[in-house]
Structure 1
Amino acid sequence: MVSLQQSLKQYFGYDSFRDGQEEIINQALLDRDLLVIMPTGGGKSLCFQLPALLKKGVSIVVSPLISLMQDQVMALQDNGINATFLNSTVNFNEIRQREEDILAGKIKLLYLAPERLVSEKFQQFLQILASTVTISFFAIDEAHCISEWGHDFRQEYRQLRQLRFRFPHIPIMALTATATTRVQKDIITQLNLKTPAIHRFSFNRSNLYYEVQPRQKRNYQQVFNLINRLEGSGIVYCFSRKTTEDLASRLHQDGISALPYHAGLSDEVRSKYQNSFIRDDVRVMVATLAFGMGINKPDVRFVIHHDLPRNIESYYQESGRAGRDGDPAKCILLYNPSDEYKIHYFIKQKENIQEQKIAYQQLEKVLEYAQTNYCRRIVQLSYFGERFKGDCDCCDNCLNPKDIEDWTIEAQKFLSCIARTQEKFGIKHIIAVLKGSKSDKVYKYGHHLLSTYGIGKDKTVQEWEYLGKSLIYQGFLNQSNDSYKILKLNKESWEILKSKKQVKIAVVNTNSSKIIDNYHPKALEVELLLQRLKKLRKKLADQENIAPYVIFGDSTLKIMAQMQPQNLKSLAKLSGVTEYKVNKYGNYFIEEIVYFLNEENLTVALPSNTQMKTLQLYQQGLTIPQIAKERNFAVSTIITHLTELIELNQSIDIDKFVLSKKKEVILKTIKEMGEQPLKILKEKLGDNYSYDEIKLVKAWYQKMNNQN
């Protein structure tokens, strides 16, 4: 008997399964109902494609988008697998031919939209298919669409509940990349799954870097600078069609290949643009939410949200289109508080009160994500019922840590108030009691008579709210999952109340808020500053004849480069910085940081990622041939990088690569002949001088002239 691994190799070319795939496939082969919640990039499609090939009959796959089913069918056919789809893009004669092939047993996977699947006419076709060729199972992809609690609820998906009644003995496999506990239960109920095997994987995408930046007034320049510093292809999501069109047009004018994508474009144009992006004919897709669901492009290196998403699930899905190949990718959200009011407006347009209520709850969680000072994965993953310890080292908050303060006393006040109100209220009411509110609700329950009434007047509402959320994030307090968000004490809560456990929270220090507010983490800028600080540290260490780490460890320099303190008081708060070192070395490092931040044209003179990698190796002392070998590039390419870095005002010492006597002759020739192409200079200088040497000296000479 052929093993699953052999089949995997045969049909898909893989030598081994990803985590969880093999167990899911084995259960599918046993005709079990299944619910699979697997993050994007986890190999979800294989979980129904392989068993479809191994089971008798044809498997029916429900897919919400034409582009999704076409992409998957094309990929399957390219592997020699008999798959097809039926949708509105196929003419009548072709549909008839495909149906004949299906009934002849020539097709193993059939992709359909939910509308076609549940139509009466097609149900008749399915009845014939089930009684002849047989239907091996139904696979409901993007199954969250069936739930009103899901981020992309679609009415047509609700009709899929008919499948169990019409085909009671055919197993159903529901699959999605995102589903809260509530949505999971709803999927099981709506599809009437029979004791399904539930496979739920971590939602954590460890290869994705998450960051939130305040959206600047000149937000186009902000987006342009971000894209200019990022490598590879990317998506920029916008709230409106107008912003989408404007951004795409300006990016194109400024030399970044970009196209718009929104529902106002014709199907033909959208399809054309989407293909251009998938095939790397265009680097950036600027799109509304109409773009992306089911896009199979695995190498999207960045996703930028120009506006606040409406809910965490949408953001998780949209940002998750980056890095599907498992390689590092960046997800950046540009946040402006005014976005909240725009979303409020659209929520109010919903006629259904229940839908409004759900939308407001979802918006509240997005705001938590945008505003938190903790690891962003804590907020993101908690939405899906997953507890994450934080310290992911792959979000802006973890890489740019805030001040940690002891708030144990405040936490005791907060938790005591919860206990005295009998654990029946949410955060807002607890804060009202602590702040000594005279609201009707406080007096109605007699909470103005409690000992905790008014004991929290020294903190703002925002500070108490942040403490409450911090306690929940850290697992020191429970919160109900319903719309009431009732706070409940747990074991850790009582340990805090008994002073057996401390509470420390990350806060934005008011004395250094200017630095934090103005700091927008940019990996290249941080790396450049870090290298500058290392050079300064080495210089000081050499003067004292000591090892550089004695002055400051690397971890301290990294934090310094990230936080960019501009005064001694801010510097003293960083990890690894003592008062003695502030007094002895502080001014040197502050001067270097301030000088770096004030350099002319810093925002537009940063090296590209590939130039940066060459610069790092050069700063480590490698020779040009060594750098070329390390990067698997030609020596001439490294020379080009170095000349470009010289032009970008980076500190490159060409004396390491060109003998001083040769340098003098080349300089003399350049001065005599003026601005001339390399070929002319080479002919004048002769065979004793290489193009590489001339190129480096010319770049250095031009830099000197520009500075003068």
Structure 2
Amino acid sequence: MNAKNVTLSEYLKKFFGFSTFKGNQEAIIQNVLDGEDAFVLMPTGGGKSLCYQLPALILDGTAIVISPLIALMKNQVDVLRSLSMDDGIAHFLNSSLTKAAINQVKEDLLAGKTKLLYVAPESLTKEENIQLLKQIKISFYAIDEAHCISEWGHDFRPEYRRIRPIIGEIGKAPVIALTATATPKVQNDIQKNLGILDAKVFKSSFNRENLYYEVRPKVGATREIIRFIKNNLGKSGIIYCLSRKKVEEMAEALQVNGIKALAYHAGMDSNTRSDNQDKFLMEDVDVIVATIAFGMGIDKPDVRYVIHYDIPKSLEGYYQETGRAGRDGGEGHCLTFYSYKDIQKLEKFMQGKPVAEQEIGKQLLIETVAYAESAVCRRKMLLNYFGEVYEQENCEHCDNCLHPKTKFDGKDDLLLALDVIIAVQEKFKADHVANILVGNASTSVKSYKHHHLELFGCGSEKDVRFWNAIIRQGLVLRLIEKDIENYGTLMLSPKGKEYMENPYTVMLSQDHEYEEGDDDEASGPAGNKSTAADEEIFALLKDLRRKMSKKLNLPPFVIFQDPSLEDMSIQYPTSMEEMQNIAGVGAGKAKRYGKEFIELIKVYVEEKEIVRPQDLVVKSVVNKSGLKVYIIQSIDRKLSLSDICEAKNIEMNDLLTEIESIVSSGTKINIDYYINEVLDEEKQGEIFDYFMEAENESIADALKELGETDFSEEEIRLLRIKFMSEMGN
């Protein structure tokens, strides 16, 4: 086939079986065929790879595709080989190949069979590979994931900076740089570094209309995630965590709650990792919990939700990761949990890095905070970040648009902010401008003598947070711009200068104030203590406990203690499984006493038409290496309690607390062998009889009744453990 008398559409049909191109694909491919350089900005799912695959198949010679992703290389080579009778049509060259495989690649390249050669940047720099590539005809160079060139990109790789000189050494050919995410600053960096400032630029819209963006406060996040997944059963999803440890913990928490989930991170051996990835692609599991290493180049079109347990380090990272949802144009829910504590953690990780790198990282984090806390349309914020204007007032597909915050006339505030930006000669960043507005003489403000400005403190009735929000909304409105060369420096746009001449009313939104909290606060059954208990059901449960205690001739607290009844009156357990997750209950107690309580709650819930929060009870992961397991095993082996304390380096007081906790959750424990050593029969009998008649389990009351001179607190605690275990479990 000759490129001159066959249309591109015919080539598309012949090689890939598609009838039409998507978006800018045809224009980009034509540009490559014409021997021109190109910069391609195309969001995830837009069909980037076709832009270099098709021209490579059409043109004479071999296209060199530089990519950092070994999994993606293999994936694409397999696809291309399936289109041809000859496996030599596509190869990859990276550290995973054996010597024999490398020889085969060389043979096919020199024989002119290979149309596409995928190379990792590290492999490209090897002298033997440079010499090999000098011997073949190169049709063009495609630099995939080109944002890796820029320190401002979310995945900077220093070896990408060496691509241009190596290309110069191998031999001149057109260059096409492709990326799914790049701000104007990153784009400029890429073009400058690759020496393609005159390249034709092809930009596709960053707007993914089918994606729903939502940010929630990070309080009880594990519980929230489990509830969310159970409401979306059978759908594929990805959960991103920043640390490998959290990935493992989250995957385990999902598994114990009956969710088909697996972990994926760089610390796992490569076989397990690729097995887990395949199980996700083949739908043997619904959820992958991963660090950001997962998903790049994975073409699974029906991921229905992407959850960020930890907020990413940059908005570009966030956009690329959320972009893995709904690639088929169907539903895609992007849920992020945000706490400012996470931002502070990320700032700590930057310490010790070069100052320039810290500065960049800090600025990228500021953008992330702005996105999370802003009450402006999320879509508008994201597109603005990538230099695109979103005209609609309400996207109707993000939490801020569906649940708008109160608006106020921000004309005067905007004018003040613009005045200060001009007063500092458009050479400073948002936090510096905000500090001047509130009258905060920070080190930076003092060093530039800006605390002597006439405008210093002109907005002191509001805080820094408020002024940062005003500046952000000024950016979205295109009244303020960021200088591309000095990322983060604020300047007035022509529109902003015009606004100062002829100001008009602008309705702005108040930012979110997210409540602070740890995920662990609400991850276990006791995490709901702040919720008000239902007093009516609490009284009914106490009444039932009293009746049962009379019937069984047991003190009421042996059956269930008050905190357990309180938790029942918050969570309304209506099954044995739910009852086991009530604070201080556990499997043993639930089976022994739970049935009648469950029946009572069921009737109450139906009569009162109570809507229970779905899946409120989340099973917590048992710490298999934990202290409790060790204690139970040691007591089974009749190990002295003092020996257990020594082995685990804990006080007797703490050990007794652990044993009490084990017993109160329904596990039967026999410490007679130890009690008989330290207490005579008469003393044991007295304490045991006391608890049979007692109205509560209080140690203080027992000491008062039995006499502090005759009995110690430790002795009473030991006998109370024996009593609760024998009578209650």
TM-score (norm 1): 0.68
Letter in 2 for 1:294: G
**In the superposition, relative to structure 1, how do residues 445 and 196 fare at CA in structure 2: closer, same or farther (>3 Å)?**
closer
Alignment pair present for 1:600 and 2:611 = yes
In 2, the alpha carbon distance for the partners of 1:229 and 1:212 equals: 18
Letter in 1 for 2:377: C
**In the superposition, relative to structure 1, how do residues 146 and 464 fare at CA in structure 2: closer, same or farther (>3 Å)?**
closer
Alignment pair present for 1:242 and 2:249 = no
Q: CA deviation at 1:493?
A: 4.0
Q: Answer yes or no: is the 8 Å Cα contact 1:151–1:314 preserved in 2.
A: yes
Q: Answer yes or no: is the 8 Å Cα contact 2:469–2:511 preserved in 1.
A: no
Structure 2 residue corresponding to 1:10, chosen from 11, 14, 24: 14
Q: CA deviation at 1:279?
A: 1.6
Instruction: Tell me what 1:263 maps to.
Output: 266
In 2, the alpha carbon distance for the partners of 1:445 and 1:186 equals: 29
5 Å-filtered alignment, 1:498-517, equals 500-507=503-510
Instruction: Tell me what 1:42 maps to.
Output: 46
Q: Answer yes or no: is the 8 Å Cα contact 2:95–2:123 preserved in 1.
A: no
Instruction: Tell me what 1:306 maps to.
Output: 309
Structure 2 residue corresponding to 1:30, chosen from 31, 34, 42: 34
Q: CA deviation at 1:19?
A: 1.0
Instruction: Tell me what 1:224 maps to.
Output: 226
Gaps of 5+ in 2: 516-605, 618-729
**In the superposition, relative to structure 1, how do residues 139 and 262 fare at CA in structure 2: closer, same or farther (>3 Å)?**
same
Instruction: Tell me what 2:383 maps to.
Output: 381
Instruction: Tell me what 1:117 maps to.
Output: 124
5 Å-filtered alignment, 1:176-191, equals 176-191=179-194
Q: Answer yes or no: is the 8 Å Cα contact 1:237–1:288 preserved in 2.
A: yes
5 Å-filtered alignment, 1:246-645, equals 246-350=249-353, 352-389=354-391, 390-437=393-440, 452-481=455-484, 483=486, 485-490=488-493, 492-493=495-496, 496-497=499-500, 500-507=503-510, 599-604=610-615
Structure 2 residue corresponding to 1:108, chosen from 104, 115, 118: 115
Gaps of 5+ in 1: 515-594, 607-708
Q: Answer yes or no: is the 8 Å Cα contact 1:71–1:296 preserved in 2.
A: no
**In the superposition, relative to structure 1, how do residues 348 and 436 fare at CA in structure 2: closer, same or farther (>3 Å)?**
closer
Alignment pair present for 1:84 and 2:91 = yes
Q: CA deviation at 1:312?
A: 1.0
Letter in 1 for 2:15: Y
Q: Deviations over 1:657-682 (max 9, x none)?
A: xxxxxxxxxxxxxxxxxxxxxxxxxx
In 2, the alpha carbon distance for the partners of 1:267 and 1:93 equals: 21
SS in structure 1 at match of 2:386: coil
Letter in 1 for 2:81: Q
Instruction: Tell me what 2:146 maps to.
Output: 143
In 2, the alpha carbon distance for the partners of 1:125 and 1:394 equals: 52
In 1, the alpha carbon distance for the partners of 2:252 and 2:279 equals: 16
Q: Answer yes or no: is the 8 Å Cα contact 2:227–2:616 preserved in 1.
A: no
In 1, the alpha carbon distance for the partners of 2:119 and 2:176 equals: 15
Q: CA deviation at 1:504?
A: 1.0
**In the superposition, relative to structure 1, how do residues 439 and 24 fare at CA in structure 2: closer, same or farther (>3 Å)?**
closer
In 2, the alpha carbon distance for the partners of 1:101 and 1:235 equals: 39
Q: Answer yes or no: is the 8 Å Cα contact 1:212–1:333 preserved in 2.
A: yes
In 2, the alpha carbon distance for the partners of 1:190 and 1:417 equals: 35
Q: CA deviation at 1:106?
A: 2.5
- Which 10-residue stretch deviates more, 183-192 or 235-244? 183-192
Q: CA deviation at 1:419?
A: 4.4
- Which 10-residue stretch deviates more, 187-196 or 278-287? 187-196
Q: CA deviation at 1:602?
A: 2.8
Q: CA deviation at 1:450?
A: 5.9
Q: CA deviation at 1:232?
A: 1.9
Instruction: Tell me what 2:207 maps to.
Output: 204
Q: Answer yes or no: is the 8 Å Cα contact 1:208–1:330 preserved in 2.
A: yes
SS in structure 2 at match of 1:56: coil
**In the superposition, relative to structure 1, how do residues 499 and 229 fare at CA in structure 2: closer, same or farther (>3 Å)?**
same
Q: Deviations over 1:586-628 (max 9, x none)?
A: xxxxxxxxx9x9943133399xxxxxxxxxxxxxxxxxxxxxx
Q: CA deviation at 1:30?
A: 1.3
In 2, the alpha carbon distance for the partners of 1:598 and 1:440 equals: 60
**In the superposition, relative to structure 1, how do residues 170 and 276 fare at CA in structure 2: closer, same or farther (>3 Å)?**
same
SS in structure 2 at match of 1:17: coil
Q: Answer yes or no: is the 8 Å Cα contact 1:477–1:489 preserved in 2.
A: yes
Q: CA deviation at 1:287?
A: 0.6
Among the aligned pairs, what percent are the same residue?
44
SS in structure 1 at match of 2:118: strand
In 2, the alpha carbon distance for the partners of 1:403 and 1:206 equals: 25
In 2, the alpha carbon distance for the partners of 1:158 and 1:488 equals: 30
Letter in 2 for 1:335: Y
**In the superposition, relative to structure 1, how do residues 124 and 450 fare at CA in structure 2: closer, same or farther (>3 Å)?**
closer
Q: CA deviation at 1:434?
A: 3.6
**In the superposition, relative to structure 1, how do residues 493 and 270 fare at CA in structure 2: closer, same or farther (>3 Å)?**
same
- Which 10-residue stretch deviates more, 190-199 or 59-68? 190-199
Q: Which has the higher contact order (CA 8 A, sep 6+)?
A: 2
Q: CA deviation at 1:378?
A: 2.6
Q: Answer yes or no: is the 8 Å Cα contact 1:164–1:191 preserved in 2.
A: no
**In the superposition, relative to structure 1, how do residues 364 and 101 fare at CA in structure 2: closer, same or farther (>3 Å)?**
same
In 2, the alpha carbon distance for the partners of 1:157 and 1:443 equals: 40
Alignment pair present for 1:153 and 2:151 = no
5 Å-filtered alignment, 1:43-62, equals 43-62=47-66
SS in structure 2 at match of 1:138: strand
- Which 10-residue stretch deviates more, 422-431 or 354-363? 422-431
Instruction: Tell me what 1:19 maps to.
Output: 23
Q: Deviations over 1:526-584 (max 9, x none)?
A: xxxxxxxxxxxxxxxxxxxxxxxxxxxxxxxxxxxxxxxxxxxxxxxxxxxxxxxxxxx
In 1, the alpha carbon distance for the partners of 2:141 and 2:224 equals: 46
Q: CA deviation at 1:112?
A: 1.8
In 2, the alpha carbon distance for the partners of 1:282 and 1:343 equals: 31
Instruction: Tell me what 1:530 maps to.
Output: none
Q: CA deviation at 1:77?
A: 2.0
Q: Answer yes or no: is the 8 Å Cα contact 1:408–1:496 preserved in 2.
A: no
Q: Answer yes or no: is the 8 Å Cα contact 1:423–1:489 preserved in 2.
A: yes
Q: Deviations over 1:374-431 (max 9, x none)?
A: 0112322222222333522221111211112112233333334444555454444444
Count of residues in correspondence between the two structures: 517
In 2, the alpha carbon distance for the partners of 1:499 and 1:94 equals: 69
**In the superposition, relative to structure 1, how do residues 83 and 489 fare at CA in structure 2: closer, same or farther (>3 Å)?**
closer
Q: Answer yes or no: is the 8 Å Cα contact 1:492–1:501 preserved in 2.
A: no
Letter in 2 for 1:69: M
Letter in 2 for 1:3: T
Q: Answer yes or no: is the 8 Å Cα contact 1:63–1:140 preserved in 2.
A: yes
- Which 10-residue stretch deviates more, 75-84 or 117-126? 75-84
Q: Deviations over 1:439-492 (max 9, x none)?
A: 677677776676644442332232222222222221233343455744434455
In 1, the alpha carbon distance for the partners of 2:609 and 2:169 equals: 71
In 1, the alpha carbon distance for the partners of 2:235 and 2:47 equals: 23
Instruction: Tell me what 1:704 maps to.
Output: none
Q: Deviations over 1:129-149 (max 9, x none)?
A: x2xxx2211211111112222
Q: CA deviation at 1:87?
A: 2.8
Q: Answer yes or no: is the 8 Å Cα contact 1:137–1:170 preserved in 2.
A: yes
